[in-house]
Structure 1
Amino acid sequence: MRQLLLVLASMLTLSSLYTPSMTMAGTTPDLPKIRLAQKFNCNNPQTQAAINECANSSYQNADKRLNRAYQQLLPTLEKSRKQKLIAAQQAWLKFRDTNCEFERSKYEGGSIAPSIYVGCLENLTKLRTQQLQEYLKSDP
């Protein structure tokens, strides 16, 4: 009976996952917080739920690196350039989230849609992190 309840709770949790929304100022879209009893082996995920969770975890790590690069770059800029970077970052976030929504829409309703969405977020976030790191290298 306990296993049945766990399975049902997992199904309910997973069915409510990943209803993304656009982020305006932060760098992380409103992804649902998952509290699972088991930890997935992300080196060899065996289920779609595991793949989705591992993709989300990987994206969260990429987002942390982006935030570090952004926070390192901001104080190095003069006021007018800092304001431009903030505006550019906000516009980039809107683009990233909307673009990933578009990519995910091809799989709407499918169990793979969440991993497509966060995979897109991760890829674009890594590219933006590289850009910010390049700015750090080139700005005195």
Structure 2
Amino acid sequence: MPQASQVSKTKETSELTPVKETVIAQGLNCDDAGNLNQQQMNQCAQISYKEDDKKLNQAYQELLPKLQESRRKKLVAAQQVWIRFRDTSCDFERSSVEGGTLAPTIYYGCLGETTQARTKKLKQYITEAAN
């Protein structure tokens, strides 16, 4: 999995009372899940989902020009409905731990799994369009 970096920053709320908001600068090793706290696991799940989403968008953009106009319109409509389904379904899955610290990991994990499955299907369509 990718690594993320955080930086330190200072935030001033007024001229008289500066408030420092410090985040320790460190690499986040998402491959070492045994040594991550929950916040870090949540961040890693989000990073992983973003990578899955990039792959989905690449496959989608590769497929669109391979389709005839009528099929392209249907794919666009299907993709819009699929996005709503994915988001709603993963929101439901997250609701089992609503408000808990595990909720983001559950949500982004679901988004990632669902997105990977859709990417696989889009790649199948690409292969079929090439034949």
Instruction: Tell me which interval the TM-score lies in, with the shorter structure as reference length.
Output: 0.7 to 0.9
The gaps in structure 2 that reach 5 residues or longer are: 1-19
Structure 2 match to 1:139: 129
Find 2:52's aligned residue among 57, 62, 66: 62
In the alignment, what sits opposite 1:38? 26
* Mapped partners of 2:116, 2:101: distance in 1: 24
Verify: 1:86 aligned to 2:76, yes or no: yes
TM-score by length of 2: 0.79
1:74 counterpart letter in structure 2? L
1:37 offset after TM fit, Å? Answer: 3.5
Say whether 1:76 aligns with 2:66.
yes
Q: Distance in 2 between matches of 1:83 and 1:43?
A: 40
Give the number of the structure whose alpha-carbon radius of gyration is greater. 2
Give the structure with the higher percent strand. Answer: 2
Identity, % of aligned positions = 50
Q: Which amino acid aligns with 2:30?
A: C
Residue 107 of structure 2: which of 117, 124, 133 is its match? 117
1:129 aligned counterpart, secondary structure: helix
Work out the number of aligned pairs and report it. Answer: 111
What is the TM-score normalised by the length of structure 1? 0.74
Q: Which runs of 5+ in 1 are unaligned?
A: 11-35
Instruction: Establish whether residue 126 from structure 1 lines up as the match of residue 116 from structure 2.
Output: yes
Query: Greater relative contact order (Cα 8 A, min sep 6): structure 1 or 2?
Result: 1
Tell me how large the CA RMSD over aligned residues is: 2.0
Structure 1 residue ranges, 4+ long, deviating more than 3 angstroms after superposition: none
Q: Which residue of 1 aligns with 2:85?
A: 95
Which secondary structure state, in structure 2, belongs to the residue aligned with residue 80 of structure 1? Answer: helix
Question: What is the rounded CA distance, in whole Å, between the counterparts of 2:55 and 2:102 in structure 1?
Answer: 25
Structure 1 SS opposite 2:119: helix
